[in-house]
Amino acid sequence: MRPNAIVWLVRDTCRLADNPSLTKATLLARSHNALLIPLVCFEPRRWVDQQFGLARIGLHWIRFRLESLRDLEQSLIDAESNLWISAGEPSSVLDSISQSLSVIYVVTDYPLATEEYFENKRLEESGYSVVHAETDDLFNESDLPFPIKSLPDTFTKFRTSIEKKVALKPNAPLVVPMLTPLHEQPWPRPSKWLEACQINQEKFAATGHSGGRDAGLIHWEQYLDSRALSHYKQTRNALEGVNQSSHLSPWLAHGCLSTREIWHDVLTYESAEGANESTYWLRFELLWREYFRWYSRRMGSALFCAADPKRKIQVPNGGELDWVNWTRGTTDCLIVNAGMRELAATGWISNRMRQLVSSYFIHTLELNWRLGAAWFESMLIDYDVASNWGNWAYIAGVGADPRGGRAFDIEDQADRYDPDGSYQKRWLGK
């Protein structure tokens, strides 16, 4: 008789603490006297697939995810468990596991977009019982003051509804559950994993972002210790500076830290240092992230193909000059060029710069927003499907709060946020 097993399918949550999926999987394993198998399928769809001729992932994302998974692996080993790693599709990997173990449940995160949804459907069609948990959301769906199909069309209405419901608060972060022992995986490490391990770490030293929970906690703790949170609202639009904005997005996108942890840490900080508009504003930004997550679930596949009849999709490999100049940072606009070169070098640019380069792309070059979103997906170290595609559609005026889009006066923005030209000099070498 095959031993029972519960599989925790790791997607974008590379941590043990405050992990409802892991907690649920652990409880199921104990109640069924089963092995708990943490399994990561090394993003096979992102390795293989392309969109509009663009790669789905870039080296910055790969490096950060690899570091985050290594950190997760070590945390599991320290807890007498392990991380099984494959480069195959989850259904095929589970079929292999099922040859020697009886997989009772597959536990994973609540699907955020269509790929994860259809991946779960394939697992169910293969005969596996899939259980999901709202792992990286601030709020549970059942606690929201509206059904998802009636999600407000604007962030302001969403935020107002949330804040009016006084009893609605993010749950306290969960502690790390007691794991069951697990031996090493019964197959060799996949070649994709081994190839990724060869990435030259020195090439990425200038990014300032290292993957993994430990690195995320170190960054967040020094940010709080510096008391930069107390003036976050005044500095968050700066184009550079490690403590000008929170720089939490890479660790949130890869699930090394949780939004609930950040939310409650801000409340603790306010108790000790005092609350003001800046401390509130960081939680305000977390609500924006939350809104885009539920917006993504409401929209489904429409998130990626909202109509923009004025601008056709043209495959970048066709070599359109405006497209090439934008991606290379060789346009007629210096501040845009600086931002695009920073993105290429580090995989990260500030939120203000993301708005400027996307506005220039859509409203000045008049290119289709979906191409820009796809480029960001292939470049960003902190790529997040909901925030990336939601924000691009918002700037284009075809997404949430569609009021004709957000067209910025680029030169005015440059004068305001780079008055001495130091940011441009840094990235343009002038």
pTM above 0.85, yes or no: yes
**What is the CATH code for 136-171+213-302?**
1.25.40.80
Look at the block and give the residue holding tokens 């269509």. 114
Q: Encode pLDDT of 98-110 as tens digits.
A: 999 999 999 999 9
- The CATH topology of domain 4-135 is Rossmann fold (3.40.50)
> Which residue type does 365 have?
L
The CATH superfamily label for domain 305-428 reads DNA Cyclobutane Dipyrimidine Photolyase, subunit A, domain 3 (1.10.579.10)
Distances (CA, A) of 184 to 14, 163, 223, 259, 366: 18, 47, 37, 31, 52
The number of angstroms, rounded, from the C-alpha of 387 to the middle of its chain's C-alpha atoms is 8
Q: 282 — phi, psi (to 5°)?
A: -65, -40
Average pLDDT for the chain: 91
- Domain borders along the chain are 4-135, 136-171+213-302, 305-428
Q: Is the pLDDT of residue 200 over 70?
A: no
Q: Encode pLDDT of 256-269 as tens digits.
A: 999 999 999 999 99
Q: Is the pLDDT of residue 314 over 90?
A: no
160 backbone φψ class: left, alpha, beta (φ>0; ψ -120 to 50):
alpha
Q: Is the pLDDT of residue 129 over 70?
A: yes
Q: Encode pLDDT of 390-413 as tens digits.
A: 999 999 988 887 666 678 899 999
Indicate the pLDDT class of residue 423, thresholds 50, 70 and 90.
very high
